[in-house]
Amino acid sequence: MKNLFVAAVAAAVALTPVGCGNKSPEGGTPGTKDSFTIVGPTSTMKEMTAPTIKQDTTQTIELHVKANSEFSGKKVTLKAEAPNGIHAEPKPATVEVGAGQDVKFQLEIHADKNAAAGPATIKVTGTPEKGNATTDELKVKVEANNASGTGSDNKNTVSIDLPSGVALSNKAVKRDAKETVELTIKGGSGLTGKKVTLKHEGGPSQLKVEFNPPTVDLTAGGEQKVQMVVAPAKDCPTGEHTIRVTATPDSGTAASRPVTVKVE
């Protein structure tokens, strides 16, 4: 089996807003002074340093709408798109931005108590009264909250293991081809949920990911093998794409881990 994936690192332990530095492509009229960008914290640019939010909690990140010297779009309407289990809302939803101005707004983020743990990407889009919209991608990490599990040691859960050879690779899966990686799904010693369902989130729509089988029967302390088949379409964007693999039992705490797929 080829080594084609890079397993992402574990989540950080605290949310710490930092200085601005992550900015979107230009909106309005790109390439001119009649343009604007959405600017977020530097830490939201990179998965390894992304802010962390615990399950069943809410955090707020400060962002900016920064207008160039001749921006004429005036009102900019803001919206956010987040993966399942995560909710993101810009406050306010519309800001008045004059030429050369830098206007702050808050992005309120809430992770459900059963939100998949691991990296997640939130897309924040600003649409001016005239001109092009722009979208900034902010990375956050969802951290498991043990209090939401069953028992203080959270034994009523599952885990996802990747083969050791998958940890590092300089190779890539080619477009219009497919690669299979074997995952091991393990049940905690107190697992009560029998059926465990596999799914994935993230990555471009042209990156097809399937699990065979998609659902397994798992006992407490037991394990099952699952094949993860990755097949980039011929028009799939090249480069690294992070997907999040989640295993959800009938009852108990779900498990999630990020996997980075390289496409060439």
The reply to whether the predicted model has a pTM over 0.85 is no
**Fold exhibited by the domain 149-263:** Immunoglobulin-like (2.60.40)
**What pLDDT is stored for residue 6 in this prediction?**
37
Cis check for the bond before 41: say yes or no (omega within 30 of 0).
no
DSSP 26-64: PEESTTSSSEEEEEEEGGGG-GGG--EEETTEEEEEEEE
CA distance 22 to 12: 19
- R_g (Cα) of the chain, nearest Å: 20
**What pLDDT is stored for residue 43 in this prediction?**
60
- The domains of the chain are located at 7-146, 149-263
CATH superfamily of domain region 7-146: Immunoglobulins (2.60.40.10)
Compute mean pLDDT per 10 residues along the chain, 264 residues long, and list them: 39 33 85 94 60 83 93 94 90 94 91 82 94 92 59 65 51 84 85 86 86 91 90 88 83 77 84
CA distance 127 to 62: 18
**What pLDDT is stored for residue 23 in this prediction?**
85
**What pLDDT is stored for residue 10 in this prediction?**
32
**What pLDDT is stored for residue 104 in this prediction?**
93
CA distance 73 to 98: 8
Cβ count near 205 (within 10 Å) = 9
DSSP 141-169: EEE--GGGSSTTTT-SBEEEE--GGGS--
